[in-house]
Structure formats: structure tokens, C-alpha cells
């Protein structure tokens, strides 16, 4: 897993979408207020012009007093330096009539009439215009928030619906096992999901093909390599029986014989490993272990006696493992062989089951290597060069593939292997 946080695709797109919408809203708000400003200016200019004409007319007709009704008019003694300048300014003025502060726009210009100069300042109320402009802006914000809520809610409900095929495909992927021929088709009209599903099917086919090739190769190897080994071994046995030859080359022939035997056992064990890995033992069932364990114990009875080990059993009649019967045999055989091989006679070899656990333990010196290496292939005690070092790796593999928890402990001089199980409830995922 990456160490940064992950977000759902839909949340991401929603967030981005909302950011874009917000921008769009802001832009349109800006545009609309601009439009409004333009409208206000145009409208005011019309009104200013209208009043200005009235004032000019009044002053032309020498009715300055009447003109003063419309504007503030100052008579100037001389022509101002900035005569042609027209200025506008917005001010906040308390209207004497309504005693309310409001925005006004003031237009100031100069005029000349019969040699007299006038400074005219016209005031027009623009408060209403400004309020209109603010209203436009304020109406946009709630609209945006309503949109946000609607989108989020819709996404929340729709994600379940839209992503249902996606999750189904994911489940199929999760459940996929090598060697499985077909993957169920998920009906969907979403292009991306169709593409994903097609790609997945294609991958499954490739994996299946590779798997079959590998399987075929392994099987052929198993068959083809065992026969030559068989021949080598038999021929060597012929040599072993030749007393003249043995007198001269006894050691060499013995070495060839030993190594051939080792190769042959190695090949068989690795084949078994591959078969387990390929799930060729695929007939799992609930097995009551008591009888099976007793059968295995009696099969090794004489080796136990020869090693002078005592065996203590405490078997639960209800202990059950969900496993292919052949795998249970392989599992028990290997665990017992391991326990017997390394058992010292300091104490008993114990096989115990409870309702939900299986334990096998033997006395012995601590491991000469780190515990983690115990279940690794070809890890074995140096003093037993002849053992393959595959037994416990096979046990581990079987447990892993069948959801069994295999644990190792060294406690009070005892090597303890515990298998806790899937019990009856084990549904293969």
C-alpha cells in the first residue's frame, strides 16, 4: 500500500467538478455584475443628460433659481482652468427627506452662458441599482450551495449503483484461482468496466495457458526424469552386486548409488510440492482426525520403539480438519517423521487435539538456526545430510493453501507445532 491516503474515484471527480462549477459561478457572477454596472452607468448617464438639458435650458432662459431645483449650481467669476472636465463621484449622503443614508452619484461639469461661468453638480440616487447588483451576486451563492448538496447526495446514492459491476468484477478477480477455467461475466454498459473485464478475461486466459504449460512441463519432467533415474539406479544395483568390481570401486559406486537415490527422492518430493501448490488435491472435506492420527501413529510404532521414545496422545473425538484426505495423510506423515527424527528420549512425543487445535511436540535441543527458517525449503540440520529438508516446507504449504494456521514454538525443551483450523466453517474463498 502506498503511504499516502487514497480517495474514491467518485469523490475525486465530484470534488474537481465542484471546483470547476465554483469557478464557473464566480466567472458568471463577475460577468453579471459587470453587465449590471454597465447598465447602471448607461441608465444614470441618460438621467444625468436629461437633467443637464433641463438645467442648461433653465440657465439659458435666465431662470437660474429654477435650475437650482435640479442641481447645485455655483456661479464662478472666471473661467476655471479645467473647464471642459466632467467628473463623476459616488458618495454616501443622508437624504434630508427620508433621513436614510444612501448612495448617490454626483456629476460635476462647467458651463458658460453669456460670459458667466457655472459649476453644476447633479446628484442621482444609485442605491437601488447597487442593491440590484448585490442581489444578483447573492442569488448566485445559494444556487451554488444547493447544487453542491444535490451533486454530493446524488453521487452518494449513484456510486453504489454505478459501481456495482465494478465491485462484482473485483470480487471475481479476488476469487480467481490458478487453474480455474472460466470467470463469470458481469453485465455492464460502462465502457471502462467492459474494458477492464475484457482485459481480466484475457489475463485469465494467459495465466491459464501458462499454468497448463507449466503443469504439463512438470508432469512430463516427473515422468521423464524418474525413468532414467530408475535405470541408473538399477544399473548401479547391478554394479553393487558385482563383488569383483566392488572390491576395487566400492566407494565410487556407493556414491553414485547414494546420489541417485537422493536425486530420485528429491524429484519425488518436489513433484509432490508442485502438485500441492497446483491444488491437485482438491477434494477437501471435513475429516474427523482421531482415527487418522491413530492410523499414522501405529504405522510408525516400531520406529518410535526403536528410538526409545514414549508417545503420549490426547485426542479429541470432535477435532475436525477441512482438508483433502490425501493432504491430511501427507501432513501427518511429515509432521510425525520430523518429530520422530529429532525427538530425544528426555520426554514423550506428544500428539494432542482439542476441539479446535492439533499439536505435536517432541523434546529436543533448540533449533540451530533462526525460527523463521524452519519452514523454508532445504533448511535442515547439518548433521542429517541425508534428509531432504522439504518435509516441513510441504506441511507449511498445505496449511497455507487450506487456511490452516501453523505455528511453531520452542518451550521447556520441546518443539511444539500447532495447527489451528478452519474448523467446519471453512468456506474456501
Partner 1 sequence: MKILIVEDNRHLVQDMQEFLQENGFLIEKAGFLEEARQKINLYKYDLIILDLGLPDGNGLELIPEIKRNDPSAGIIILTAKDTVSEKVKGLEMGADDYITKPFHKAELNARINSTLRRGKFDGNSALEYGHIKINTSARQVLVNNTPLNLTKIEYDLLLYFMYNKNRMLTKESIVEHLWGDRIDESDSFNFIYNHIKNLRKKIQKLAPVNYIHSMYGIGYKFSDKEQD
User: What CA–CA distance (Å, rounded) separates 68 from 75?
Assistant: 11
Can you tell me which residue has the cell 535405470?
231
Q: Which is nearer to partner 1, 126 or 304 (CB)?
A: 304
Which span (55-63, 93-101, 240-248, 414-422) binds partner 1, by CB under 8 A?
240-248
Q: Is 341 in the site for partner 1 (CB under 8 A)?
A: yes
Which span (45-53, 153-161, 284-292, 303-311) binds partner 1, by CB under 8 A?
303-311
Q: Which is nearer to partner 1, 275 or 397 (CB)?
A: 275
The radius of gyration of the chain from alpha carbons, rounded to an integer in Å, stands at 48
Cα atoms in the Cβ-side hemisphere of radius 13 Å centred on 117? 12
Q: Is 277 in the site for partner 1 (CB under 8 A)?
A: no
Query: Contacts with partner 1 in 246-265 (CB under 8 A)?
Result: 246, 250, 254, 257, 261, 264-265
- The DSSP code for 373 is G
Torsion of Cα atoms, 89 then 95 then 101 then 105, to 10°: -20
Q: Is 349 in the site for partner 1 (CB under 8 A)?
A: no
Are the beta carbons of 421 and 404 closer than 8 angstroms?
A: yes
Q: Is 340 in the site for partner 1 (CB under 8 A)?
A: yes
User: Under DSSP, is residue 92 helix (H, G, I), strand (E, B) or coil?
Assistant: strand
Contact with partner 1 (CB under 8 A): which of 47, 54, 119, 337? 337
Are the beta carbons of 86 and 78 closer than 8 angstroms?
A: no
For 353, list phi and psi in degrees, rounded to 5: -130, 145
What minimum distance in Å lies between the beta carbon of 325 and partner 1? 9
Q: Which residues contact 211 (CB under 8 A, 6 or more apart)?
A: 178, 179, 278
User: What CA–CA distance (Å, rounded) separates 133 from 34?
Assistant: 9
Count residues contacting partner 1 (CB under 8 A)?
45
Cell of 153: 447526495
What minimum distance in Å lies between the beta carbon of 203 and partner 1? 29
Helix axes 164-175, 127-162, angle to 10 degrees: 30
Contact with partner 1 (CB under 8 A): which of 57, 185, 202, 235? 235
Q: Which is nearer to partner 1, 61 or 303 (CB)?
A: 303
Which span (55-63, 73-81, 175-183, 267-275) binds partner 1, by CB under 8 A?
267-275
Q: How many residues does the chain have?
A: 429
Q: Is 397 in the site for partner 1 (CB under 8 A)?
A: no
Q: Is 233 in the site for partner 1 (CB under 8 A)?
A: yes
Helix axes 289-299, 325-342, angle to 10 degrees: 50
Q: Which is nearer to partner 1, 338 or 361 (CB)?
A: 338
Q: Which is nearer to partner 1, 105 or 275 (CB)?
A: 275
Q: Which is nearer to partner 1, 271 or 379 (CB)?
A: 271
Strand partners, 311: 349
Binding mask 192-231 vs partner 1 (x if CB under 8 A, - otherwise)? ---------------------------x--xx--xxxxxx
Going across the sheet that includes 87-94, the strands are: 72-76, 116-125, 101-113, 87-94
Q: Is 268 in the site for partner 1 (CB under 8 A)?
A: yes
Which span (5-13, 79-87, 330-338, 395-403) binds partner 1, by CB under 8 A?
330-338
Our CA angle for 367, 418, 383, nearest 5°, is 25
Q: Which is nearer to partner 1, 122 or 300 (CB)?
A: 300
Q: Is 386 in the site for partner 1 (CB under 8 A)?
A: yes
Give the burial class of 276: count Cβ atoms within 10 A of its Cβ; 0-12 exposed, 13-18 middle, 19 or more buried.
buried
Site residues (vs partner 1, CB under 8 A): 219, 222-223, 226-231, 233-235, 237, 240-241, 246, 250, 254, 257, 261, 264-265, 268, 271-272, 275, 280-281, 299-300, 302-303, 306-307, 326, 333, 336-337, 340-341, 383-387
Amino acid at each position: 500500500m502506498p503511504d499516502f491516503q487514497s480517495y474514491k474515484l467518485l469523490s475525486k471527480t465530484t470534488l474537481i467538478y465542484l471546483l470547476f462549477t465554483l469557478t464557473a459561478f464566480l466567472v458568471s457572477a463577475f460577468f453579471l455584475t459587470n453587465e449590471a454596472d454597465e447598465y447602471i452607468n448607461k441608465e444614470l448617464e441618460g438621467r444625468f443628460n436629461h437633467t443637464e438639458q433641463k438645467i442648461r435650458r433653465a440657465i439659458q432662459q435666465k431662470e437660474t433659481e429654477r435650475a437650482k431645483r435640479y442641481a447645485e449650481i455655483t456661479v464662478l467669476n472666471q473661467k476655471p482652468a479645467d473647464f471642459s472636465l466632467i467628473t463623476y463621484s459616488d458618495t454616501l449622503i443622508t437624504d434630508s427627506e427620508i433621513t436614510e443614508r444612501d448612495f448617490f452619484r454626483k456629476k460635476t461639469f462647467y458651463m458658460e452662458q453669456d460670459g458667466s461661468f457655472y459649476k453644476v453638480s447633479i446628484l442621482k440616487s444609485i442605491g437601488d441599482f447597487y442593491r440590484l447588483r448585490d442581489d444578483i451576486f447573492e442569488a448566485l451563492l445559494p444556487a451554488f450551495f444547493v447544487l453542491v448538496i444535490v451533486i454530493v447526495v446524488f453521487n452518494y446514492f449513484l456510486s453504489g449503483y454505478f459501481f456495482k459491476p465494478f465491485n462484482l468484477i473485483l470480487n471475481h478477480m479476488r476469487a480467481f484461482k490458478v487453474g480455474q477455467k472460466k470467470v463469470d461475466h458481469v453485465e455492464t454498459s460502462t465502457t471502462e468496466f467492459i474494458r477492464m473485464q475484457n482485459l481480466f478475461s484475457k489475463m485469465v486466459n494467459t495465466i491459464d495457458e501458462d499454468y497448463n504449460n507449466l503443469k504439463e512441463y512438470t508432469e512430463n519432467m516427473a515422468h521423464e526424469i524418474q525413468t532414467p533415474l530408475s535405470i541408473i539406479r538399477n544399473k548401479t544395483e547391478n554394479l553393487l552386486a558385482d563383488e569383483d568390481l566392488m572390491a576395487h570401486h566400492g566407494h565410487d559406486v556407493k556414491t553414485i548409488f547414494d546420489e541417485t537415490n537422493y536425486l530420485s527422492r528429491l524429484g519425488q518430493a518436489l513433484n509432490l510440492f508442485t502438485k500441492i501448490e497446483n491444488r491437485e488435491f482438491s477434494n477437501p472435506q471435513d475429516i474427523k482426525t482421531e482415527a487418522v492420527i491413530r492410523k499414522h501413529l501405529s504405522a510408525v510404532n516400531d520406529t518410535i520403539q526403536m528410538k526409545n521414545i514414549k508417545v503420549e496422545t490426547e485426542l479429541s473425538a470432535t477435532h475436525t480438519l477441512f482438508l483433502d484426505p490425501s493432504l491430511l495423510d501427507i501432513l501427518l506423515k511429515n509432521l510425525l517423521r520430523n518429530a520422530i527424527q529429532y525427538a530425544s528420549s528426555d520426554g514423550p512425543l506428544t500428539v494432542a487435539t482439542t476441539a479446535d487445535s492439533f499439536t505435536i511436540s517432541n523434546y529436543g535441543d533448540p533449533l540451530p538456526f533462526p525460527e523463521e527458517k524452519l519452514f523454508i525449503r532445504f533448511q535442515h540440520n547439518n548433521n542429517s545430510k541425508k534428509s531432504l529438508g522439504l518435509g516441513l516446507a510441504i506441511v507449511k504449504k498445505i496449511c497455507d493453501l487450506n487456511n490452516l494456521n501453523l505455528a511453531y514454538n520452542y518451550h521447556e525443551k520441546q518443539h511444539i507445532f500447532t495447527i489451528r483450523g478452519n474448523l467446519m466453517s471453512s468456506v474456501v474463498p
